Structure 1
Amino acid sequence: AAKDAAPAANETAPASPGDRAKSEAEKILGTGWWGTGNYFSITKIVLFIIVFWLWVYTADWMNDDMEHRKVESREMRNLQFFLIYLIGSAIAFYIPTFWAAFPITVLVWIVPAVVYVKLRNKGLPEPEKVWTRDHIVYVYAVLLSKIGVKVKMKKRMSYETGVPVELAPTEKGAAPQVLQGRLILARNAPGYNDFRAYLYDGLLRGADAIMFDYTPQKTVVRHQIDGVWIEIIEVPRVVEKGKEKDKLELALEAGKLLLGANPADRRSKQGGPFVATLNKTKYDCEFVSQGTRGGEAMMIQFVRQKVAFNTLDELGLFPQVQERLRTFLNAPKGFFVISAPPANGLRSSADVFIRNCDRFTRDVAAVEDVMHPDRQIENIILNRYDSSKGESPMTVLPDIFFKEPQAVVVREMVNVDSLTLCCEEVVNNRLIISTIKAKDAVEAMFRFLAMKVDPQLFASALAGVVCQRLVRKLCPECKEGFQPPPQLLQSLGFAPGTVKELFRVRSPLPPELEQKRKPCSTCNDIGYKGRTAIFELIELNDELRSLLVTQPNPAAIRQAVVKQRQPGFLQYGAELVRQGITSVDELSRVLKM
């Protein structure tokens, strides 16, 4: 019995079904990253290396792709892609079950790559997208062609490559077949893609226009950004071997073909409209070329979507100026003038001023040329005339005044008859609001007088004039502060010691350090980004009215305005300088206009 009992004590209890299943699984899969006997599994390590190699290949492609497309956040995106894979792989390594851990290493490779591709493809033309059906077919065709297998696929046209800008001519009255024919000619021109590249660069930089000053020796490319022409590049004329024309000349000839102009004509004025589409946004463009003494000048203007301001605060007017403006706009009578130099936001500001006129407790009428429509403003009765038929505001003004509105808006005072009638109506307790292009408020007065209106009538009717100019705003990312000297503060009208710091465009470094400094991604190292307005508001009084009649001299009027201490551009601009919105150099540039 004792002999029988001994073996029984040494016997192992029979394994349960669950233990047997686990044992079988471990024989096949192993535990974690290890194989039988706690050694690394070759199969699992090979799978991991394959995924790692694919991740390295993807990371290298992403870096090259971002560098080629000049993505500003390239370094940050590379770091994100690396950290996601590193952290995910570390987590996967400590998960005990391999087939639960391995998919994580795949996901931390695939998911960030898919997100990048989706963001990358957004806004690009179809031929430039990756991981699409056509792209996959193309890749397979290239790979199979290396072993002699030919795959039939759609051929990518040359105009489908390059920058993501699509062009189309838009001449009014031209037949669709004619426009399509011009587009085909341009697309087949050797410089078509380069022409698109110049447009793409201008649109990305926020340019309102691109100027090409073409001479036999070189071509200078300038961009108009925030109202200032900035030289972007100077291109020497270098004709490649086997070609008769240089790269830029071919690009501009493609632009002429798009508009139906004659590429060989370098003297006559040519041009026309077209549409450029970038990231689903359409830009109306105007191309003009004209022969010059030394060669040819060409300009492309972009009509960008203008910002619609609605309030005086959005225009940036100081509270005290707003109060004075509302006094003029809601006065029972008077002739009030809104002015600005050309390309300084006259129409946009006039819209805001008129919107702040009381249009709900009194009748307000407006006169508009059907050839130059303005922004519609509610609660204003609109009366139109057609200048193309020889009509003028006088065509509709008598009927308007017969209906006795309290205020009338005549944006374009095109003749002396309209101006005279409006001045006469001021006597009948009527407010007249008009606009005119002028560099300052005094010049605006004299532009109306130049229309040969009776000076006494005009002076008695005129209540006030506001004029605005646009100044560039300092880039908030790269502007630098400095301690202003007392002489500078005095010239701006500030008492010594009252302003501790002003701001300016960042100073250049020595050449060896300047090359290492990272460019500003906000302003492209211009130093300014966007524009705001400075204002001059003159209120007419007996002294100024007398000078308009007896001594109609702009210098005398300006001197009287300064004596009366009516705030002008300098005072308004100095406050913007004090707040760090603009610089002394920019204010000086604008005041010299």
Structure 2
Amino acid sequence: MRLEDSEERGAAMTAKLSALEIQQQERLAQRRARKLSLPYMELFAFPIEPAALSLVPRATAQATGAVVFYKRGRDIRAAAVNPADTKVQAVLADVERRLGTLPAVSVISEHSLQFALSRYPRESRGPSGPRDELPVAADLLTRAAAELQRVAAAAGGPLSLSPTELLTIILAGALQMRATDIHLEPGQTAVQLRYRIDGVLQPIITLDLDMGQKLLSRIKVLAQLKLNVHAVPQDGSFVVRVGSERTDVRVSVLPGGVGEYIVLRLLSRRDAVLSLDALGMKARDLAVVQAELKQSTGMILSTGPTGSGKTTTIATCLTAVNQPGLKVVSLEDPIEYRLAGVEQTEVDAPAGYTFAAGLRSILRQDPDIIFVGEIRDGETAETSVHAALTGHLVFTTLHTNDAPGAILRLREIGLALYVLAPAINLVIAQRLVRVLCPDCAKSYRPDARLREHIRDVMAGVDRTFFDPSVLDDPALRFRKSSGCRVCVQTGFRGRTGVFEVFSVHDEIEQLILAGADVSKIREAAIRSGMTTIAQDAYLKVLDGITTVEEVARISEE
């Protein structure tokens, strides 16, 4: 037996034993709850609030096994491993003395307690603030591009910047240029810095290897990664603060042949959710989505590759349906948007809080609307569909190339057709195309070959959306990218969605029940008015929003 096989089997056995131990802890907690006539709770499914946790200091919570995890006015909720313990009673009495309300208490397992303890904010580490928070001066954003050029000009020569100062400039530049990701890629002679702007990686500057190594060490310290580990991947995080605004930075370090590759994902904490009519849907698609959002049960699926805007679309839908009288709970990996009024929880696989486990716990919280960040396995799929059929509106995402393909994917996961067909209300597939910069876009006359190609792609599209005669107009003009200072020479500013949208009406439901292939489902969806992603993208080319090259780019995804 190979050493690697032995290690993998050992890791699998350890994981299995850990899962069994967690299950045993939960069973014991349920017994204690019954004995004490108190409610039992799994804290994994509850969006624990730091402000509520602060009512009991972490050291006290750890010593007594009791935490306060929720506070809304006079509604205060606590949880304890052993609520009958005199030390726990003293903690609850102290909270009552300070707030005038005795917290309602539930019984939890030791595992739930450790999860709650992990949610306490990290303690301050000196006058400069938390160790994992990096302040960036607001004025640096306006001069970040010039500072980056200064760094580039000094490549290979003396640079009077500390690693912290250089990282601050790199982060400021990324924020100023609207980048979503920062890539630091070591080569034989230099380190390449690239930003992902509007979905496409753009080269920024190169750094010498010595500065690249120092930058790696500084990032590892901020993200609380191990400095002496270079042969295995590591993940961590830290926070960038500009004034009162904070951006979460997810750090991924991957070992390579010539060094360690670093990717920093920037996740703004600002409420950046769009309105439905700003997603880029045409009138027909928007009307279909709005009609299905009025339903109180069923499943709404958003599909597409990574980075196609699925989470943005779902977050926008959640904002549209959320009402004061409803309870909306999400299970995400990671939380990308902070949604007012939504109880958001985050997957923590090492702690046993997977999508499947989290969803089971959420269903015990009496939700009206549930967002499951992604269906990755049969158990999550089956539980999600069951929830959709038993009085919940469920939003979730899948990785498929088109909307009809979502049905095939769920069948492959193992869902029974008689369950799948009535559960699904709506399927949305999407991609993101870059929007031309209005300051520098240039017009041109499309040639005959391009016109005919578009005519072929758009064959069968309802004339409400597309009149083929427009392609015969000699005055027809398309637009192409150029590049200017405003768009950082990319030719584009922002992105918009292109969509396939269909609701599961009677004909499509019968096709699903009959096990029809994807082509039959696609034909039925098109008859109902769906346009394909390519067709929707070309409508945006005709409207001067994007380019023919962008349509080709997303068609390859």
Task: State if a TM-score over 0.5 links the two structures.
Answer: yes
**How far is the alpha carbon of 1:590 from its aligned partner?**
1.6
Give the aligned partner of residue 254 of structure 1: 218
Q: Which amino acid aligns with 2:397?
A: I
**How far is the alpha carbon of 1:357 from its aligned partner?**
4.3
Say whether 1:441 aligns with 2:403: yes
Match of 2:432 among 460, 470, 476: 470
**How far is the alpha carbon of 1:501 from its aligned partner?**
0.6
**How far is the alpha carbon of 1:277 from its aligned partner?**
3.6
Query: Take 1:199 and 1:383, find their aligned partners in 2: how far apart are those partners?
Result: 27
Q: Tell me if the contact between 2:329 and 2:344 (Cα under 8 Å) persists in the aligned partners.
A: yes
**How far is the alpha carbon of 1:586 from its aligned partner?**
1.0
**How far is the alpha carbon of 1:500 from its aligned partner?**
1.0
Identical positions, percent: 20
Give the aligned partner of residue 311 of structure 2: 347
Query: Take 1:251 and 1:371, find their aligned partners in 2: how far apart are those partners?
Result: 27
Bigger shift: residues 252-261 or 218-227: 252-261
Distance 1:226 1:521, change over 3 A: same
Match of 1:458 among 416, 420, 437: 420
Say whether 1:573 aligns with 2:522: no
Distance 1:463 1:577, change over 3 A: same
1:59-78 correspondence runs (5 A): none
Q: Tell me if the contact between 1:483 and 1:502 (Cα under 8 Å) persists in the aligned partners.
A: yes
Say whether 1:218 aligns with 2:190: yes
Give the aligned partner of residue 230 of structure 1: 202
Partner SS, residue 521 of structure 1: coil
How many equivalent pairs are there? 390
Q: Tell me if the contact between 1:210 and 1:222 (Cα under 8 Å) persists in the aligned partners.
A: yes
**How far is the alpha carbon of 1:290 from its aligned partner?**
1.9
Say whether 1:176 aligns with 2:143: no
Which runs of structure 1 show a deviation greater than 6 angstroms over 4 or more consecutive aligned residues?
178-184, 370-374, 382-387
Give the aligned partner of residue 497 of structure 1: 472
**How far is the alpha carbon of 1:396 from its aligned partner?**
5.1
Match of 2:248 among 284, 309, 312: 284
Say whether 1:393 aligns with 2:372: no
Distance 1:268 1:179, change over 3 A: farther
The two structures have a TM-score, normalised by structure 2, of 0.59
**How far is the alpha carbon of 1:211 from its aligned partner?**
0.8
**How far is the alpha carbon of 1:478 from its aligned partner?**
0.9
Partner SS, residue 282 of structure 1: strand
**How far is the alpha carbon of 1:578 from its aligned partner?**
1.4
**How far is the alpha carbon of 1:384 from its aligned partner?**
8.3
Indicate the structure whose relative CO is greater, using CA pairs within 8 Å and at least 6 residues apart: 2
Query: Take 1:384 and 1:206, find their aligned partners in 2: how far apart are those partners?
Result: 26
Distance 1:282 1:566, change over 3 A: closer
1:60-209 correspondence runs (5 A): 173=122, 176=125, 190-209=162-181
RMSD: 4.1
The two structures have a TM-score, normalised by structure 1, of 0.56
**How far is the alpha carbon of 1:457 from its aligned partner?**
2.0
Distance 1:592 1:377, change over 3 A: same
1:424-439 correspondence runs (5 A): 424-425=389-390, 432-438=393-399, 439=401
Q: Tell me if the contact between 1:208 and 1:304 (Cα under 8 Å) persists in the aligned partners.
A: no
Match of 1:300 among 256, 264, 271: 264
Say whether 1:479 aligns with 2:479: no
Query: Take 2:419 and 2:329, find their aligned partners in 1: how far apart are those partners?
Result: 22
Distance 1:487 1:288, change over 3 A: same
**How far is the alpha carbon of 1:549 from its aligned partner?**
4.1
**How far is the alpha carbon of 1:304 from its aligned partner?**
2.5
Distance 1:306 1:588, change over 3 A: farther
Say whether 1:422 aligns with 2:387: yes
Partner SS, residue 472 of structure 2: coil
**How far is the alpha carbon of 1:480 from its aligned partner?**
0.6
Q: Tell me if the contact between 1:270 and 1:288 (Cα under 8 Å) persists in the aligned partners.
A: yes
Q: Tell me if the contact between 2:372 and 2:396 (Cα under 8 Å) persists in the aligned partners.
A: yes
Query: Take 2:323 and 2:265, find their aligned partners in 1: how far apart are those partners?
Result: 36
**How far is the alpha carbon of 1:261 from its aligned partner?**
4.3
Distance 1:521 1:279, change over 3 A: farther
Q: Which amino acid aligns with 1:208?
A: T
Q: Tell me if the contact between 1:385 and 1:395 (Cα under 8 Å) persists in the aligned partners.
A: no
Q: Tell me if the contact between 1:483 and 1:501 (Cα under 8 Å) persists in the aligned partners.
A: yes
Query: Take 2:512 and 2:493, find their aligned partners in 1: how far apart are those partners?
Result: 40
Query: Take 2:338 and 2:506, find their aligned partners in 1: how far apart are those partners?
Result: 36
Partner SS, residue 188 of structure 2: coil
Distance 1:576 1:172, change over 3 A: same
Query: Take 1:249 and 1:385, find their aligned partners in 2: how far apart are those partners?
Result: 32
Query: Take 2:499 and 2:405, find their aligned partners in 1: how far apart are those partners?
Result: 14
Query: Take 1:415 and 1:307, find their aligned partners in 2: how far apart are those partners?
Result: 28
**How far is the alpha carbon of 1:583 from its aligned partner?**
0.9
Query: Take 1:230 and 1:535, find their aligned partners in 2: how far apart are those partners?
Result: 26
1:262-411 correspondence runs (5 A): 263=227, 265-270=229-234, 272-278=236-242, 281-306=245-270, 308-309=272-273, 311-331=275-295, 334-357=298-321, 364-369=326-331, 376=339, 391-395=357-361, 397=363, 400=366, 408-411=369-372
Q: Tell me if the contact between 2:298 and 2:425 (Cα under 8 Å) persists in the aligned partners.
A: yes
Q: Tell me if the contact between 2:424 and 2:504 (Cα under 8 Å) persists in the aligned partners.
A: yes
Q: Map Cα deviations across residues 5-28 of structure 1 (whole Å, 9 max, x no partner).
A: xxxxxxxxxxxxxxxxxxxxxxxx
Query: Take 1:580 and 1:293, find their aligned partners in 2: how far apart are those partners?
Result: 44
**How far is the alpha carbon of 1:475 from its aligned partner?**
0.8
Distance 1:462 1:521, change over 3 A: same
Q: Tell me if the contact between 1:415 and 1:451 (Cα under 8 Å) persists in the aligned partners.
A: no
List gaps (5 residues or longer) in structure 1: 1-169, 238-244, 402-406, 507-518
Q: Map Cα deviations across residues 451-502 of structure 1 (whole Å, 9 max, x no partner).
A: 4221122113333312232211111111110001233233333433246111
Query: Take 1:384 and 1:295, find their aligned partners in 2: how far apart are those partners?
Result: 35
Say whether 1:590 aligns with 2:554: yes
Query: Take 2:494 and 2:169, find their aligned partners in 1: how far apart are those partners?
Result: 24
Bigger shift: residues 474-483 or 261-270: 261-270
